[in-house]
Amino acid sequence: MHNVDWKIECRNLGLILLLAGLVGWAVGLLPWLLFFSSLAYIGWTLFQLQRIQSWLSQKADTYPPESKGLWGDVLDGIYRLQRQGQEERLRLQAAVDYLQDSFASLDDGAVMIDKRGNIEWSNVAAEKLLGLRYPDDQSQQLVNLIRSPEFIRYFEGDEYSNSLLIDSPHNSHYQLQISISYFGRGSRLLFARDVTENNRLQQMRKDFVANVSHELRTPLTVINGYLETLSENIGNQGNVQSIDITPNELRWRRAVDQMLNQSRRMEGLIKDLIALSKLESIPEDSKDMPLEVEPMLQAIREEVLTAFKGKREINLECDSSLRLVGNSDELRSAFANLVMNAAKYSYGDGVITIRWYGDTRHCYLEVEDNGEGIDDIHLPRLTERFYRVDKSRSIETGGTGLGLAIVKHILLRHQAELKIRSTLGEGSTFTCEFPSMRALAQPHTA
Ligand code: ADP
């Protein structure tokens, strides 16, 4: 179609020049007639260009001037492209409006921030939660409007993998969870979620568990005391056969023993629940200090050997020049839990190795055993409260299902991680990986 128009235009120009040439030749003014006809053609072309220019300077949706031939085609083409561009723009605008509408209707505060940290847009909830008004605060630096030091540190830290919990800078009754992500070319999208109710419920749950545990502890201590006395009085020490007791007494003794076992288990459970509650309520770093790890591990080793009447072999491999900065009671409880588990879930000839060492990035407390091991499918859930691979086995060994949850909690408070490697039937290795900032070299003694 376009080629045809070009050909027609060329043919028309050829015909004009031929006609002018023939007439010029006939009247003896060939150059003049050729010159004037070319001039007329250029003039007409300029006229068409001028029409295009004045049309283009009008509003975008005005129709092009009526024109035929090649020029009509050019005008139609430009008009078509203009309409396409316009439709594309409208579609994009509709998409942007749709997105902004959906963000605007969110209960969470949403704020778009450009790469210089200026506010581009914010929704209605951002006004309620963060005190940001749109469009009044547009182009303002976000950190000039939210001045909480914690927030500024988080916003400027550029490390947004974890969210931030703060009180609302606008209304301190609200507790907010702030999360930020990058999009486009260095722009950021901030979400502020109201977690006040969530936190209140969590606190209620923690208080409830802590209160119930405390309330149960006293009656249970009394019950335990009486059961122990009863058990001793019926003569349950040593070899049953060698003591002269009636069948009735024997029945009672069995019943009392079972009751004592169960109430001791319950006591252990309550002790662990109270320990967990304490860990949740006491602020981190409250009692941090440099600790000698080797003597601590030696004491744990003795305790476990005594508890298992020497039926396990426990080896210690310690870098005694390395100290650990942390809370002594908490770390002792975590390490003891791991060594105790290694002994509990091993067999009679179990060999346990405890290692304490460091490298440039971390220091490690490792407990390795050659016990029953754990199937891979259980590993991700092992530190959940009350998660047990084999419930009856755990109850039989006096487990509460809270040991590893306590270990994980204590490690979190020391910015450390628990890593577990295990092969079913071959054994397990539990490694506490502390950041190197928690390691201290032993001072030289003279
Ligand atoms: P429990 O009080 O039951 O021992 P824990 O939280 O200490 O609870 O451990 C959870 C579960 O992980 C245990 O029930 C046990 O199945 C498994 N486990 C822990 N340590 C070991 C280990 N060293 N070897 C094999 N299994 C283990």
CA distance 434 to 413: 11
Residue nearest atom 7 in ligand 1 by C-alpha distance: 403
211, part of any domain: no
Q: Are 277 and 212 in contact (CB under 8 A)?
A: no
405, part of any domain: yes
209, part of any domain: no
Return the percent helix, strand and coil in the chain, to nearest 5: 55, 20, 25
Q: Is 350 in the pocket of ligand 1 (CB under 6 A)?
A: no
pLDDT in tens, the chain (446 residues): 455 677 888 888 888 889 988 998 998 888 898 899 889 989 988 988 888 888 888 877 778 888 777 888 888 888 889 889 889 999 999 998 888 888 888 899 999 999 999 999 999 999 999 999 988 999 999 999 998 899 999 999 878 988 999 999 888 888 999 999 998 888 999 999 999 999 999 889 989 999 999 999 999 999 999 999 988 887 545 544 445 678 888 888 889 989 999 999 899 999 999 999 988 887 776 678 999 999 999 999 999 999 998 789 999 999 999 999 999 999 999 999 999 999 999 988 899 999 999 998 999 999 999 999 999 999 999 999 999 888 777 777 778 899 999 999 999 999 999 999 999 999 999 999 999 999 988 765 54
Same domain, yes or no: 47 and 184: no
Question: Is the pTM higher than 0.85?
Answer: no
How many whole angstroms from 158 Cα to the centroid of ligand 1? Answer: 39
338, part of any domain: yes
**Helices 328-344 and 403-413 meet at what angle, rounded to 10?**
150
End position of a domain, from candidates 160, 194, 228:
194
- Which of 388, 408, 428, when mutated, tests ligand 1's pocket best, judged by the most ligand atoms within 8 Å of its CB? 388
- Which of 394, 422, 429, when mutated, tests ligand 1's pocket best, judged by the most ligand atoms within 8 Å of its CB? 394
Same domain, yes or no: 433 and 305: yes
200, part of any domain: no
Same domain, yes or no: 162 and 277: no
Give residue 428's identity as a one-letter amino acid code: S
Number of Cβ within 10 Å of residue 269's Cβ equals 18
End position of a domain, from candidates 63, 94, 125:
94
Same domain, yes or no: 142 and 20: no
79, part of any domain: yes
Range of the domain at 408: 289-441
Same domain, yes or no: 299 and 376: yes
How many whole angstroms from 375 Cα to the centroid of ligand 1? Answer: 12
How many whole angstroms from 203 Cα to the centroid of ligand 1? Answer: 28
CA distance 385 to 143: 40
- Which of 345, 369, 420, when mutated, tests ligand 1's pocket best, judged by the most ligand atoms within 8 Å of its CB? 345
Q: Number of folded domains in the chain?
A: 4
